[in-house]
Structure 1
Amino acid sequence: MESDRFEALIDAILAIIITIIVMEIPLPETTSLSSLIELYPDFLAYALSFVICFEVWNYHHNLFNVVNKLNSTVTWTGSIAIMIVGLLPHVTTMIATNFYSFTAQAMFGVVLLITNLNFYLADLLLLRVDKANIALRLALNKRKKITTISFILQSIGFVLGYLLYPPIIFVACVLSVSVALCWSKIKDYI
């Protein structure tokens, strides 16, 4: 199965998700700086959600550069990941309006956690489908480390967020995404 059409679908869906997220940011009540500052949770949530969408796009883009074979199981797994990422506008609004709520923070964290677990599953399935692809094996071996570190950071964030301060979950999500984005710089230290 060719990956071009699947890539185009993912691109379109992610563009729609980002558009919905940005349209959910409320307009300030006035044009004053204080009105803008009141919206900081909205802007923080949007920024992280945008970066998550970019990371999902980057993951798929880089992956499909080395994938030779796809099957319906792999495309369904990728579709489920995009469906989960499709929840970002909702959970972004939740944390923007209830930034200190454990439930809102947990919902946001769960979306990111399930997305990462889904990518891990997709990676395993791709290795089965495209067994002879050495470039894919090397790329996914690097990705496994990123997924593991992200999962650990998110798990610690959930525990600390539940026990101490719910926005710690958001911080853990930021750190998790930062690991993925900065992997080329930090891999030498691990």
Structure 2
Amino acid sequence: METDRFEALIDAILAIIITILVLELPFASTGTWDALYELRYDFLLYAMSFIVCFDFWNYNNNLFSIVNKIDSKVVWSMGITLFVFSFLPYITLFVGEHFFLFFPQFVYGLYFITIVILLIINSKLLKKTDPANIALYIILNKQYSLYGTIPLILIGIFIGYFIYPPAITVCCFISLFGVWIIPKIQYHLK
């Protein structure tokens, strides 16, 4: 199976998710700076969620540019990943509404971990589907950043449970920049 139409589907779903994210941003109750300041956590979470969407698109765009073929297992695995990914606007709104409570923060961290686990599963299925693709093997074998996300967010969950719930969002944020984006920049600079 060729990947062009599948990539277009991924792009369309991510465009819809980003649209829903921006539509879910709450409006300021009045036209003052104070009213905007009250929404700072909503805007922070929107920015993080946008970066997650963009990074997911970039990851898949780069990955599928070297994939030669896919099968039904890859399609269904990516479908499940996109299904879980589609909850991002809801989870973002949930955390924004209850920023200092543990449970919404926990759901946000668990969401990040779930997406990472699904990406790892997708990587394994892609390697099985296209075993002769050496470039794919090289790229997918250097995914230490995905594995590093899980313990980092688990640390945030631990800190969030016992001390400060927003530590989970902070660890998710650190995982975005420290574990996903910076290693990619360093990889491209070499």
Q: Structure 2-normalised TM-score?
A: 0.94
Counterpart of 1:79?
79
In the TM superposition, what is the alpha-carbon distance from 1:154 to its structure 2 partner? 1.2
Partner Cα separation in structure 2 for residue 95 and residue 103 of structure 1: 9
What are the residue-to-residue correspondences of 1:66-105 with 2, within 5 Å?
Answer: 66-105=66-105
Give 1:26-175 correspondences, 5 Å limit. 26-142=26-142, 144-175=143-174
Code of the residue aligned with 2:157 in structure 1: it is: F
Give 1:184 deviation, angstroms: 3.0
CA distance in 2, matches of 1:13, 1:185: 26
Question: Matches of 1:73 and 1:184 in 2, distance apart?
Answer: 27
| SS of structure 2 residue aligned to 1:182 | helix
- What is the number of equivalent residue pairs in this alignment? 187
Per-residue CA distance 1:123-181 (angstroms, 9 max, x = gap):
01111111111100111122x20111111211111111112111010011111111211
TM-score by length of 1: 0.94
- Which stretch shifts more, 22-31 or 114-123? 22-31
Question: Percent identity at matched positions?
Answer: 42
Residues 37-61 of structure 1, C-alpha deviations (whole Å, 9 max, x = no match): 0000110110111011111111110
Unaligned runs of 5+ in 1: none
Cα deviation for residue 185 of structure 1 reads: 4.1
* Amino acid in structure 2 at the alignment position of 1:162: Y
Q: 2 CA distance for matches of 1:46 and 1:105?
A: 14
Partners of 1:91 and 1:150 in 2: CA distance: 18
TM-superposed deviation, 1:105: 0.7
Letter in 1 for 2:67: V
Give distance in 2, aligned partners of 1:80 and 1:131: 23
Gaps of 5+ in 2: none
Write the distance in 1 (CA, Å) between the matches of 2:175 and 2:51: 11
